[in-house]
Structure 1
Amino acid sequence: MRHLQTTKRLLLAAALAAALPFGMAASASAAGTLTLSSPQDPGSWDPIDTFLVNWSSVATNVYEGLVYRTPDLKIVPALATSWEVLDEGKRLRFKLRDGVTFHNGEPFTAEAVKFTFDRLLGEEGKKGPQRSNYAVIDRVNVIDDHTVDLVLKQPDPVLITKLAGYGAMIVPPKYTAEHDEAYINAHPVGTGPFRMTAYDPKVSVTLEPFADYWDGAPALDKVTYRFIAEPATAVAELQAGRVDVVIPPTIPISMVDTIKADANLNLVSVTSPTVYALRFNTRDGITADPRVRKAMIMAVDRGTIIDAILGGQAKQIASFQSELSFGYDPNMKPLPFDQAKAKELLTEAGVKPGAEVQIDIRGNDATFAEVSQAVASYLGMVGINATIKPYETNVLLNDIIPQGKTGAMFQQKWGGWTLDYDNTAYLMYHTGERWNPYDSDPKLDALLERQRSMTDPAAREKVLHGIAAYAADRALEMPLFNLNEIYGVSKRVKGFVAPPDNRIRLTGVTVE
């Protein structure tokens, strides 16, 4: 009997392997345990609670949305098999995949889609950071069990891409309604290829293959994510063979050559949408004056920082977006490094030598700590005394920045997960947004709102270029660099694809 059951499982896995939209072949046999090092425990696995890339590097394997963005950044079907745009962009109709179940056995139907978005856009969604990304959705209409309409308040040219990430991950209605927030945060249930079987906060997460996954069970028999904040520890564990993959942004540039020299390891570096800046407190102190902000930008030699500290693994940016972003203007140039002009602007603004500023950074980002020290040194050359204050990442992101409790400058790392400047610019610059605790500019608000309803890509891109130029003219941040995603990977690992957006999909991975 046992042999017969095994044979049936093998036949089922072979049948499921046909026509897979993700281009991943299923495997009926286990292929080892994969251990990954992640620098941060997101603290909650509920999709409506998060904005963190390190959430996505785990949860991409647990949850699914209506669509999926592949490692080559293409949008393909996931829980929806197809979609069409109706009513001049104000209604999106999705045909849903049949035969899909959640990890707890609940069936996936149109009701689950409606429940997910009603929850996201309702009272529970108000508590998290994702609601504003989907506020254009007026309601969800269930047409039948496998057809659903998203009715929009106005056209949203970025919505399809947004549906591939974070808050739009589909959750099981019955399970979610039966459990409280704390339980759901620690016990996620999705439709993905892996189910979470253990979670030890700030220590590790364990995933196991979901045998009933609609796309065929993955090959690995277990996946462990260890939360290792200290880069040197993560790299040491990789070298010792106790970790198979080190996820960005863990690996500091200073350790790149160490990994390259290890015969058992591969260093994988890919162009990323992630950009870094030091944003300004535009409300308080000397940085309330745009002349001072421009002076501070011109005081810092960003090109030398990229060469000397980042080992050339980055590109200088003029606006807070990468070249992968829709809205990126290749003709826009950063403010030049010019300390003489910087001193002139500081004198004009009445800033005396010895003025104090504080730079707030993530305490676990060793590479950026070096960058911030270099920035502080350059500022010192023009008479500004900068001190650096590191914070635990979750504290900085969940309390210090959103509550407007930063110093004069604060680290902002942003992946622009939609690969569209709207998702960066709106959240950074629009009045009242979480990442804009200090500034309010009616002209900028109007530009940001205008582009969200535009369906002509060329016209919308022109407006986005204007937004980038306007933000640069106001010097709302010191744009620094677009840093490559750097992965350390054991040569025992086969089939691993390093995605630019850190959304690691493990269905095709095996370990020797």
Structure 2
Amino acid sequence: MRRILGILLTLLIIMNISACSNSNDDTKAIAEETVESNNDIIIRLAGGDWGFPSPYLHYSRGPGGFKMYLLFDSLLEKDENGIIPWIASEWRIENEGKDYIFTLNDNILWHDGEKLTPEDIKFTFDYYKQHPPVWNSLNVNGKYIVKNVEIIDETNLKIVVDSANATYLERLGKARILPKHIWKDVKDPKKFHSEKAAIGCGPYRFVEYNREQGAYKFEAFENYWGPKQRVKAIEWVPVSDEILAFEKGEIDTVSPSPDIIGRYEKDKGYAIKTNKGFWGYRLIFNMEKRSELKNINLRKAFAYGIDREEMVDKVSRGAAIAASMGYISKEHIWYNDNIQKYSYEPEKAKKFLKGKSYSFEILTGNKGAEIKIAELIKMTLKDIGIEIKIKSVDMKTRDAAVKNKEFEIALIGHGGWGSDPDSLREIYGTDTQEDGSPSSNSLPGYYNEKIIELSQKQMKELDKDKRKEIIYRLQELIAEEVPQIPLYNTRSYFVFRPLKYDGWMYTYDHHYPEHCKLSYLVREK
């Protein structure tokens, strides 16, 4: 109550000063100072172990990487509409798309007080070539894209890449910058467990990590060069029941199931956002292990024999959309609706099987939703002549098995469905896992020359409209081929208390506001 009264008193002071002053600039300055003086908010989120938050030790899924992003800045960032300046205040592209010249902001400090220089940028890109981080945006088709980094002067540098490529600005821009004075003598970054490994130049600094409890604490970095923090600290705390913890005020956000969302809709103390469908489930075929899956008729039988709308209704309670067989999410700006679609048609599925029967093992995680999805798949496929055995393991074990191709068919859920459509090349047009995340898993044993050709062509096409045409054609081919089964994309709910904090936002390509660095910073009007 005292805090609310303090805020009201401050607002009254601002109103009085505004009435007595003829300077809009003075009023703006006082308002900005008020934001700074009231920066005492502590956000608490549900915990869980996602690894130590260095670029080399966090777990590959989103909750691990996005924690690390709060500590480490990059040349560029993302907001609701696209790529924006960050460490680099501006950039230009020369030499027919092969030279990227970045101008750096002044007076950027590392969390230990040392000043960031162009040497740190050059060191980072050289170091990543020898030691790829967990999230590695700098490898394409198995090759490192940076040929050389040249320091022009104290605030400018040039990054020379191997070829002109539509995806390279984002790839260079999102690489997390490392402090040279800390990492230059680190021979094996995966064994560098010192707290110094979490020193970045981001808006928050590392305070605490408890692996057993899955607890983290970050605090606002007082000498941060960029936008002022709106949140004093962010804590991830262990909870056994997220709904109960949220309603008791122990955590500040929750993603409830549709069954109970009504209790928040009727209460003005809560606000609700609906996440975009950029997280989803898919069924991956391992054609190396089970060569029968190279038969397109068998894959089409799977497509017609699985009731994806039933999954939306029964598993997600309607808070989802059946996924596109062209993979690109239906909420993506480059989604092509003019592709082959597969509704649940068991009789048509049987025709594709031509009287044959099959038996496969599906590897899945052990969470409730994944088990339910697998059970529904098992039931509907049994009706058409495909027997399914379900093997459930913990998430990390399943992810490792998928990465190592140790499965027949795998059910996996992940984000990244709103990212640059080069994701189609990473999944369908290459046999390597490039960026280290589950969303880039390739399809073992699958090969289609035309899809590979278009996958390579789209990233080299710098004309946006022409590139979009290629992406549309790729979705059409992928839907016709059915190399895997995209199941559904979730449209989950995000509930919070606006009186506690109302700064949550989404970047244009991601589905969780708590993952967004800008959610915790003062935004320019």
**Structure 2 equivalent of residue 453 of structure 1:** 460
**Structure 2 equivalent of residue 37 of structure 1:** 46
Q: 1:83-128 CA distances to partner (integer Å, 9 max, x unpaired)?
A: 0111111111110011001112221121111111112222x11876
Partner AA of 2:275 in structure 1: V
Question: How do 1:102-251 residues align onto structure 2 when only pairs under 5 Å count?
Answer: 102-122=110-130, 124-125=131-132, 129-133=136-140, 135-165=144-174, 168-179=175-186, 181=189, 182-184=191-193, 187-202=197-212, 203-215=214-226, 217-226=228-237, 233-246=241-254, 251=256
* TM-aligned CA distance change 1:243 to 1:304, over 3 Å: same
Indicate which of 71, 74, 81 corresponds to 1:62.
71
CA contact (8 A) 1:51 1:129 kept: no
**Structure 2 equivalent of residue 431 of structure 1:** 431
* TM-aligned CA distance change 1:84 to 1:255, over 3 Å: same
Structure with the greater alpha carbon radius of gyration: 2
Q: Structure 2: any 5+ residue segments left out of the alignment?
A: 1-24, 435-440
Question: How do 1:97-496 residues align onto structure 2 when only pairs under 5 Å count?
Answer: 97-122=105-130, 124-125=131-132, 129-133=136-140, 135-165=144-174, 168-179=175-186, 181=189, 182-184=191-193, 187-202=197-212, 203-215=214-226, 217-226=228-237, 233-246=241-254, 251-260=256-265, 264-285=269-290, 286-316=292-322, 317-325=324-332, 327-347=334-354, 350=356, 352=357, 355-364=358-367, 366-397=368-399, 399-416=400-417, 419-433=419-433, 435-436=441-442, 438-441=444-447, 443=449, 444-496=451-503
CA contact (8 A) 2:36 2:228 kept: yes
Partner Cα separation in structure 2 for residue 169 and residue 88 of structure 1: 26
Larger mean CA deviation between 282-291 and 338-347 belongs to 282-291
CA contact (8 A) 2:320 2:492 kept: no
State the secondary structure of the residue aligned to 1:478.
strand
Q: Structure 1: any 5+ residue segments left out of the alignment?
A: 1-13
Aligned length: 473
CA contact (8 A) 2:73 2:201 kept: yes
Larger mean CA deviation between 457-466 and 88-97 belongs to 457-466
* TM-aligned CA distance change 1:63 to 1:127, over 3 Å: closer
Partner Cα separation in structure 2 for residue 119 and residue 400 of structure 1: 29
* TM-aligned CA distance change 1:110 to 1:405, over 3 Å: same
Give the CA deviation at 1:442: 5.7
CA contact (8 A) 2:277 2:321 kept: no
Partner Cα separation in structure 2 for residue 25 and residue 475 of structure 1: 56
Partner Cα separation in structure 2 for residue 408 and residue 482 of structure 1: 19
Indicate which of 502, 516, 525 corresponds to 1:504.
516
Give the CA deviation at 1:24: 12
Partner AA of 1:432 in structure 2: T
Give the CA deviation at 1:79: 0.3
* TM-aligned CA distance change 1:219 to 1:462, over 3 Å: closer
Partner Cα separation in structure 1 for residue 359 and residue 238 of structure 2: 35
CA contact (8 A) 2:429 2:456 kept: no
* TM-aligned CA distance change 1:135 to 1:485, over 3 Å: farther
CA contact (8 A) 1:238 1:490 kept: no
Partner AA of 1:302 in structure 2: R
Give the CA deviation at 1:138: 1.8
CA contact (8 A) 2:304 2:346 kept: yes
CA contact (8 A) 1:326 1:461 kept: no
* TM-aligned CA distance change 1:305 to 1:436, over 3 Å: same
Partner AA of 1:192 in structure 2: G
Give the CA deviation at 1:25: 9.2
Q: With structure 1 as the length reference, what TM-score do the two structures score?
A: 0.83
CA contact (8 A) 1:359 1:409 kept: yes
1:47 aligns with 2:55: yes
Give the CA deviation at 1:470: 2.4
Give the CA deviation at 1:342: 0.7
How large is the Cα RMSD of the aligned pairs?
A: 3.0
Percent identity reads: 18
* TM-aligned CA distance change 1:74 to 1:31, over 3 Å: same
Give the CA deviation at 1:463: 2.0
Partner Cα separation in structure 2 for residue 322 and residue 47 of structure 1: 28
Partner Cα separation in structure 1 for residue 33 and residue 415 of structure 2: 29
* TM-aligned CA distance change 1:206 to 1:342, over 3 Å: same
Q: With structure 2 as the length reference, what TM-score do the two structures score?
A: 0.82
State the secondary structure of the residue aligned to 2:40.
coil
Partner Cα separation in structure 2 for residue 48 and residue 251 of structure 1: 32
CA contact (8 A) 1:326 1:420 kept: no
CA contact (8 A) 2:282 2:484 kept: yes
**Structure 1 equivalent of residue 12 of structure 2:** none
